[in-house]
Amino acid sequence: MRTIKHIAVFTSGGDSPGMNAAVRAVVRAGLYHEIKVSAIYRGFEGMIENDIAVLDSRSVAHIIDKGGTKIKSARSKAFKTKEGRQKAFNNLKKHNIDALVAIGGDGTFTGAHIFYQEFKIPIIGIPGTIDNDIYGTSFTIGYDTASNNAMKAVDMIRDTATSHNRLFFVEVMGRDAGFIALRTAIACGAKAVMVPETKIQPKELLALINKGKSAKKSSSIVIVAEGNENGNATELAEAINKLDPHFDTKVTILGHIQRGGSPTTYDRILAAKLGVAAVDALLKGKEDLMLGVYDKELTFTPLEKAIKKHNYIDKDLLRLVEILSI
């Protein structure tokens, strides 16, 4: 067991539901092992500006059900410089901080890996992003909640779509990956799904929509990931209208409502599991690694590998959308 007396935890990048639950788990696991735990507020920016405070068990009471991140998040241009990182390290030394737990996504882990290489301070990463595109884990904290938020919104949109025989294009988050879009499409019985990983052309999409029309469906919903290569929801709706102007087409962009709200049971439990495991890992001498889960088992992936590789959507799920949309 490594001798660690003081751990600091921070959240960085985009917020995701369940980050608070992960912070809570790190703090209480540290206290369980009689280790001091501090929060670094506003991620790497707070590390540079010495925005660091010791937490106790009450500091993280009643946050497990809250979305967002209590210890805040921020982008940091200064941390991308050698001078900024040196200042951050000097602040950690002032507080006698021995190790770090970084909660975030690609950008967070990139910064954490560089910081480890330069200063060799032990770091364990916890994947917290709604996009679920981090290599080394089947689920990231926040993905389940974001998918459920999108599903609930599309269910409500369906009521209006059915009442007016409309074709709705619903845009969900997913700049580089279609995990939320694909899961939402299956859960909501969408006619089609457009994701960055596929290259469906507007004419092909129209053919899929017309299959529903010939089957006398009262409404059609197309789920579009914001990073779809052939256009966002608005652009696709315009393209379909040009090809066939008879459709009564509407567009809804869900935006940041997907990120907010109380985390699901799954995200709370995943966050708790990874938070405790991160402290255990540091005490066992592990460093420069990201924690994840595959088939309910904890996994460790080098931060460098987690950054360079990406998760890919399940092609069998794409087939499910096609089969179930007839």
Distance CA 322, CA 326 (A): 7
Query: Three-state DSSP class for 128?
Result: strand
For the chain, give percent helix, strand, coil, nearest 5: 45, 20, 35
Token pair belonging to 31: 């206290």
* Exposure letters 101-136 (e unless 16+ CB within 10 A, then b): bbbbbbbbbbbbbbbbeeeebbbbbbbbbbbbbbbb
Cα 31 from Cα 194, distance rounded (Å):
46
Helices (H), the chain: 19-32, 43-48, 82-94, 106-119, 143-163, 179-188, 202-214, 233-243, 265-283, 303-308, 315-324
Q: Is 230 helix (H, G, I), strand (E, B) or coil?
A: coil
- The residue from 131, 144, 267, 288 that is catalytic is 131
**Beta-ladder partners of 118:** none
20 burial via Cβ count (<10 Å: 0-12, 13-18, 19+): buried
Distance CA 218, CA 225 (A): 24
Give the integer Cα–Cα distance in Å for 121 and 198. Answer: 41
Per residue in 275-312, is it b (16+ CB within 10 Å) or e — as a string?
Answer: bbbbbbbbbeebbbbbbbbeeeeeebbebbebbeeebe
Q: Is 244 a catalytic residue?
A: no
CB contact at 8 A, 288 and 109: no
The answer to whether the CB of 6 falls within 8 A of the CB of 94 is: no
Report, as residue numbers or ranges, the catalytic residues. Answer: 131
